Amino acid sequence: MKKKILLILQYPPPNHGASFVGKMIKDSDFINSEFITHYVNSNLSNSTKLIGKFSFKKILVYTNIVTKVLYQLLFFKPDICYFSITSKTTGFFKDFFIGMLVKLFSSKVVFHFHNKGISTVENIFYYDFCYKVLFKNTKAIILSERLYFDVKKYFKRDDVYICPNGIPFFIDIPMNSPKSINSIKIRLLFLSNLFKTKGVKTLLKACKILDKKKFAYSCDFIGDEGDISKTDFEKIVNDLNLNHSVNYHGKKYGIEKNLFFINADIFIHPTSEDCFPIVLLEALKFSLPIISTNVGAIQDIVIDNYNGYVLKNIDSISLAKSIISLSLNPKLIDQMGCNSNKLFKEKYQQKVFENNFINILKII
């Protein structure tokens, strides 16, 4: 008999890693054919700019979410409750109440962590108390063995399962859109919402260094506004005199976004606070070498000197040096790009994720 599973997760909008994976799970014919599944969307915000900000509308949305979860617990009576939970800040306390509600009605609860940060606040008494109460006698899914340290205090290793994210293999592009050949300029691509922690300013300062060295390049920024607005971004670009080489294109989806990947030479992600960025999996799929940082589980995705460079120091000088070093070796760009695609096919396709996810839920 198929297990009944209640999945409490996020799906877009807004667009971020957890919501992307949440939608993929909800839309997966494979996952939904293996279980009897019901879903509740736990998103409070429909824009990245509203995340973490209070509004009375959010209270109404939250009340609706709690009501839907309670209804499912009472009438669907799931065998397993799966919850994609926020690790800390106000998002955690919003999820805490729902998690406790779930624990009252279900003997099997699994928390899926798409972010990290528990270890940074575990010594604060009210976090520690809430974590101990909520996570007692439950299971956890994390994205990498490298991230176990973050939940180690509250979960035994035997109660933790590893399930790296994956994305669809299919690439939606026009049939007549080959990669543009530009032997003069190296095309750099940054694709993320404009948050300081994503390294936006670090990359812009690195671009200024490239300018001073008279290095031929262009750098495209794709993504929604975050704690850096479009106005803020454009001011920094103007102040650094980068208008000739840096372009901000806003949000892009589908074919439009894919064309930027196709026409890029190197993908740049100088993040200082990340877990397992979905965008890096996209860069793998499009056979791009990647320059990123030693944060979260990024070293599972970017293997230093194999399919890119992992920066030890997150600063503009180190980033500029890595860009120049890779750009001066076209054969290395091609080889690292091929290695990226190979890694994607082996580990990060959607079907690999679905198999892992299904097997975990079957043995819990």
Q: Each residue of 296-327: pLDDT tens digit?
A: 999 999 999 999 999 998 999 999 999 999 99
Q: What one-letter code names the amino acid at 248?
A: Y
Q: pLDDT class for 70, splitting at 50, 70, 90?
A: very high
Over 60: is that where the pLDDT of 176 sits?
A: no
Lateral strand order in the sheet of 186-191: 246-248, 217-222, 186-191, 266-269, 290-293, 308-311
Tell me what pLDDT residue 293 has. 97
Q: pLDDT class for 51, splitting at 50, 70, 90?
A: low
Q: pLDDT class for 290, splitting at 50, 70, 90?
A: very high
Over 90: is that where the pLDDT of 362 sits?
A: yes
Instruction: Indicate if the alpha-carbon torsion angle 53, 59, 64, 66 is positive or negative.
Output: positive
Tell me what pLDDT residue 48 has. 52
By DSSP bridging, strand 109-113 and strand 139-142 are parallel
Lateral strand order in the sheet of 36-41: 36-41, 4-9, 80-85, 109-113, 139-142, 160-162
Higher-pLDDT residue of 180, 95: 95
Range with lowest mean pLDDT among 12-16, 90-94, 99-103, 179-183: 179-183
Helix (H, G, I), strand (E, B), or coil: what is residue 216?
Answer: coil
Segment 342-351, tens digit of pLDDT: 999 999 999 9
Contacts of 299 (CB under 8 A, 6+ apart): 146, 310
Distance in angstroms (rounded) separating the CA atoms of residues 146 and 296: 7
- The helix, strand and coil proportions of the chain, stated in percent and rounded to the nearest 5, come to 50, 15, 35
Tell me what pLDDT residue 171 has. 75
Tell me what pLDDT residue 183 has. 55
Instruction: Indicate if the alpha-carbon torsion angle 271, 274, 276, 279 is positive or negative.
Output: negative
Over 70: is that where the pLDDT of 181 sits?
A: no
Segment 9-27, tens digit of pLDDT: 998 877 788 899 999 999 9
Q: Looking at domain 186-347, does it have CATH number 3.40.50.2000?
A: yes
Q: What one-letter code names the amino acid at 164?
A: P
Tell me what pLDDT residue 13 has. 78
Tell me what pLDDT residue 52 has. 56
State which H helix or E strand residue 208 sits in. Answer: helix 200-212
Q: What is the pTM of this model?
A: 0.90
Per the prediction, the chain carries an average pLDDT of 93
Distance in angstroms (rounded) separating the CA atoms of residues 9 and 102: 13
Fold of 4-166+349-363: Rossmann fold (3.40.50)
- The domain segmentation of the chain, as residue ranges, is 4-166+349-363, 186-347
Over 70: is that where the pLDDT of 53 sits?
A: no
Q: pLDDT class for 177, splitting at 50, 70, 90?
A: low
Over 60: is that where the pLDDT of 178 sits?
A: no
Tell me what pLDDT residue 340 has. 98
State which H helix or E strand residue 293 sits in. Answer: strand 290-293
